A = this chain, B = another copy of it.
Amino acid sequence: MTCTPSPPIITLLTDFGTQDAYVGALKGALLTHCPHALLVDLSHDIPPQDVAAAAFVLWSGSRWFPPGTFHLPVVDPGVGTARRILVATLDGHHFIAPDNGLLTWVLRGAHDRSTYALRCTPNQLAASSDTFQARDLMAAALARWARGIPPPTAPLSEPPVELQLAQAERCGEVLAGTVIHLDRFGNCITNITRAACERLAAGGPLKVIIGSKEIRGLRRAYGEAAPGELLALINSVDLLEIAVAEDSAAIKLGLTPGTPVQVRSLK
């Protein structure tokens, strides 16, 4: 159709919400420095300051973009303090982000990684807002990178900050994990992986225990259960998920992040 090269893709993920001008300002700064960028919103509805939620959404969303994509995740309660700004390339994806754990999930999933600190001159720091460095420092650096000018970096004296993520564990014949994310539908995503489930039962049937409920067997799809029925399945990012068909498992069962979940063989 066209023989011009594709525009560079830049994704945005923030806790800015959509009622104010912050997202617009960020996009204005990006387009000032890279006018032909293709801007894509991952989400701006991360709960305020919820770095853990953003880290999960960043991992589950960014991975579907082609290598060479640029990502600007910004949940940044430490803006203007001594917290570093990271410059990372992970499996061919480029990130500039505050060093507060936002990259935890993508770092753990990456095979090839290089991480640096963004180097800012005193003049750049003085000219930037202490409350909106994403607009004045990160967007400019990322957009110039998207235009082909790599950001100035310094080696990291310490590794990137990582969140302490609750890990699912296997104890004998039991997989013990927790709910880690509630989605818009009220589906409850856990930290128990498809691979762990398959190892537990060698492909045999499983049961899932959550609170006083026991779910016998995994479904393939929501529509295999009757509307209103509780079910468990392996979801689209290969994690165990508890759902209620055409309804909210989070509301119906009162589940929140941190709720314990167990998986056992159905024998």
Contacts and interface: CB of A to CB of B under 8 A. Distances in A.
A132 B64 CA distance: 12
Interface stretch (A107-115, A165-173, A216-224, A256-264): A216-224
Interface string A93-135: 0000000000000000000000000000000000001111001
B236 A135 contact: yes
Contacts of A201: none
A29 interface: yes
A243 to B, nearest CB: 9
Interface of A: 1-2, 4-9, 11, 13, 15-29, 31-32, 35-36, 38-46, 48-49, 56-66, 69, 77-81, 83, 129-132, 135-136, 147-148, 181, 183-185, 220-224, 233, 235-236, 241, 245-246
**Interface residues of chain A: helix, strand, loop or mixed (majority):** loop
Contact of A57 (B7, B20, B48): B20
24 contacts: A6-B36, A9-B31, A16-B184, A19-B57, A21-B43, A23-B43, A24-B61, A25-B60, A27-B40, A28-B40, A28-B62, A29-B64, A31-B65, A32-B64, A32-B65, A39-B40, A48-B184, A77-B245, A77-B246, A79-B221, A80-B221, A80-B223, A129-B236, A131-B235
A20 B38 CA distance: 20
A222 B77 contact: yes
A7 B36 contact: yes
B9 A64 contact: no
Per CB-CB distance, the 9 closest pairs between chain A and chain B, nearest first, are: A80-B221, A28-B64, A21-B61, A17-B184, A24-B61, A6-B35, A132-B236, A24-B42, A28-B65
A254 to B, nearest CB: 18
A65 B1 CA distance: 20
A129 B222 CA distance: 12
Contacts of A16: 184
Contacts of A220: 80, 130
Contacts of A57: 19-21, 24
Contacts of A78: 223
Contact of A184 (B20, B60, B181): B20
Contacts of A63: 25, 28
A1 B184 CA distance: 39
Given A19-B45, A43-B19, A81-B223, A11 B24 contact: yes
A5 B5 contact: no
Given A80-B221, A222-B131, A24 B9 contact: no
